[in-house]
Amino acid sequence: MTDTLHHATTTTATDQLPQVHLPRNTGMELDLDWVASVQANTSAIERRAATLPGRRSVKKSYQAAWLAKAITLIDLTTLAGDDTEGRVRRLCAKARQPVRADLLDALGLPPLTTGAVCVYHDMIEVAVEALEGTNIPVAAVSTGFPAGLSPFELRVKEIEMSVAAGADEIDIVISRRHVLTGNWQALYDEMKTFREACGEAHVKAILATGELGTLRNVAKASLVCMMAGADFIKTSTGKESVNATLPVSLTMIRAIRAFEARTGYKVGYKPAGGISKAKDALVYLSLMKEELGNRWLQPDLFRFGASSLLGDIERQLEHHVTGAYSAGWRHPMA
């Protein structure tokens, strides 16, 4: 089994590509003509998205290899009102060792870590301390998350305070009203200010796509945020009634592809909210591979915003090793 999985890992897109430092997206001037020309054929996008789950064909050792790759792309997240320092420390311990050592040994895999740990501002210092000695970045949600309706000056200050506290990445939320009213200049200016406040920390722009009304709005908002310098575009806060979906993902991914074709900058993508099953992760990975290529299967360009996803992936890996499904309590998140 070890030899088979090693072969699968080194002959599919799940293999680690050489990490080439990419130039950071510096953005561009707002091009309103480009924004106005953006279209989204909703029926065609939905038809294409509907075919994706049925086209997933990785099985057995190849599936295990893809799931191991998915673990390295998870922003392991806790954003609950009852978060405690103890919970965050336990979550960070899970990020450092997301899969039991006996399963890794049986699969012949090296130690894995998650892509990042994502927390509220008050938990940044706890997470930084708990992850000391690793390369796991700490991401913080900011700018009045999840609604983004606090005073603008406070939202900017919140970013600055999170960066000062040690956050490597900032997940900001845009003002949905700018999209819904077509005020693209206001959205661009807001995003540009947030990007500048982040300094060296990378910024993920959360579009809250479930509240934007149409896929055309999703496409236009994606483009404007990238023009303003977003390092990642992200679907959702996880608090909306509709979060990450395949049609929305396809729309945002194609906006990323168009932006790279025009500017040369590679921008990352993060689906978040509602992705809780290993089979869903495989669909998203296949979508990224087909639409953007293998380079977007690395954590500097793709993340899952999730928590329960990791538990199901670990359960599937145990099934691959033992042939039996285990109880959920064998794979605690924290």
Residues known to be catalytic: 171, 234, 270
Amino acid residing at 150: S
* Maximal CA-CA distance, the chain: 57
Instruction: Give the residue from 161, 230, 149, 158 showing the smallest Cα distance to 195.
Output: 230
Q: How far apart are CA 93 and CA 86, in angstroms?
A: 11
